[in-house]
Amino acid sequence: MSDQFSLLILPGDGIGTEVMAEVRKVIGWFGDKRGLSFSIDEDLVGGCAYDAHGTPLTDATMAKAQAADAVLLGAVGGPAYDNLDFSVKPERGLLRLRKEMDLFANLRPAQCFDALADFSSLKREVVAGLDILIVRELTSGVYFGEPRGIHADDNNPDNEGGRVGVNTQRYTSGEIRRVARAAFELAKKRGNRVCSMEKANVMESGILWREEVQWVHDNEYPEVELTHMYADNGAMQLVRRPSQFDVIVTDNLFGDILSDAAAMLTGSLGMLPSASLGAPAANGRPKALYEPVHGSAPDIAGQGKANPIACILSFAMALRYSFDKGADADLLERAVEKVLADGARTADLMGPEGGTPVSTSEMGDRILQALDALA
């Protein structure tokens, strides 16, 4: 009997519901045609949860997320909620999920489909076929370190303006080791190479980072290739020759910047999936939240214009990283590649070379047809 995977689906607001409807079709296909067995629950998050319950995430939904093998989220937010109190804004639902599930490893693939290589700001030959994964530490580092704040710079008459702003880059060895383990595990499911990025040349926290990543490698993952690079050089290399990388692991601040830069290597926001992983549960599967990088896109919501591929590729990540179904994930990515190569384009992908305009649901249907053709 095959494993049963529990999946909590949170479509959210705006185009979140539209793109998730296409993911539901894809999930159905993998159930029917590949014998994968999912127990699916669906619930509210964000503005729609606020409308129904007065909170962007109820305790009951939070509990379901903690119990699920994976959570798949669409997007949250919209102009109707812009003036709500900070404590009940739609984004608070998302932040609560990330915090309470302790999702410390954020995964952002930068994958360039051949048919879209001309969308990149870099030359086609630099990005065509690109497939890298940036693993960013998400719950510590300079965004959280204490002390922090802005205060008077007493007894410093030379400071024009008289104030000082402080943030603290702080990492424990345990925080570094756990995200390093996540990166090595991921590399084993891909190209078996990890490049760790920090600034060990000027920061003590960078020296600790480098030593701890090396320790995890030497003691637990000697079979994975590990290199180290200063993060500023890493930024240069990402735009010079991105294909040299497989998995990049880095801290919260550098990861924030490097993953946004890498995203633009591949073109449209409607194409970018992400995952956030936590510690492995008793069944060995990590706590996991999969979501497209884009938001609820109120400017196109309800018009059938949204590109569902980012959300569909987020489900492919769930297949690969939560359910250990790498071959099925590959199949889904190849189906997306085929549909794009055949010329189907939602409005966001319509470039000067043209293509066949398709709606959100037509894009989903074409991906199902491609799955049938490739399976």
Q: Confirm whether 82 is a catalytic residue.
A: no
Examine residue 147 and say whether the peptide bond preceding it is cis (omega within 30 degrees of 0).
Answer: yes
Asked if 310 is part of the footprint of ligand NAD (rule: CB under 6 A), the reply reads: yes
For the CB of residue 313, give the shortest distance to ligand NAD in the complex, in Å: 11
C-alpha dist (Å) from residue 247 to 243, 266, 301, 323:
11, 16, 34, 20
**What b/e sequence results for 262-278 when a residue is b if at least 16 CB atoms lie within 10 Å of its CB, and e otherwise?**
bbbbbbbbbbbbbbbbb
Q: Which stretch binds ligand NAD (CB under 6 A): 24-32, 73-81, 223-231, 254-262?
A: 73-81
Asked if 270 and 346 touch (Cβ cutoff 8 Å), the reply is yes
In the complex with ligand NAD, which residue's Cβ is closer, 12 or 234? 12
Among 296, 320, 328, 332, binds ligand NAD (CB under 6 A): 296
C-alpha dist (Å) from residue 326 to 15, 153, 244, 317:
28, 55, 22, 9
Q: Confirm whether 260 is a catalytic residue.
A: yes
Asked if 37 and 2 touch (Cβ cutoff 8 Å), the reply is yes
Helices (H), the chain: 15-34, 47-53, 59-67, 90-100, 124-127, 173-188, 204-220, 231-240, 252-263, 309-321, 326-341, 360-374
In the complex with ligand NAD, which residue's Cβ is closer, 200 or 316? 316
Q: Confirm whether 143 is a catalytic residue.
A: yes
Among 223, 299, 342, 372, binds ligand NAD (CB under 6 A): 299
The two beta strands, 131-137 and 247-250, are parallel
**What is the distance between the alpha carbons of residues 243 and 226, in angstroms, rounded to a whole number?**
16
The residues in 316-355 that bind ligand NAD, with binding defined as CB under 6 A, are: 348
For the CB of residue 82, give the shortest distance to ligand NAD in the complex, in Å: 7
Q: Confirm whether 131 is a catalytic residue.
A: no
Q: Which stretch binds ligand NAD (CB under 6 A): 35-43, 53-61, 75-83, 95-103?
A: 75-83
Among 76, 134, 195, 371, binds ligand NAD (CB under 6 A): 76
Exactly one of 118, 256, 330, 365 is catalytic; which is it? 256
Among 78, 141, 234, 273, binds ligand NAD (CB under 6 A): 78
For the CB of residue 268, give the shortest distance to ligand NAD in the complex, in Å: 7
Interface ranges with ligand NAD (CB under 6 A): 15, 19, 75-78, 91, 94, 269-270, 291, 294-300, 306-307, 310, 348
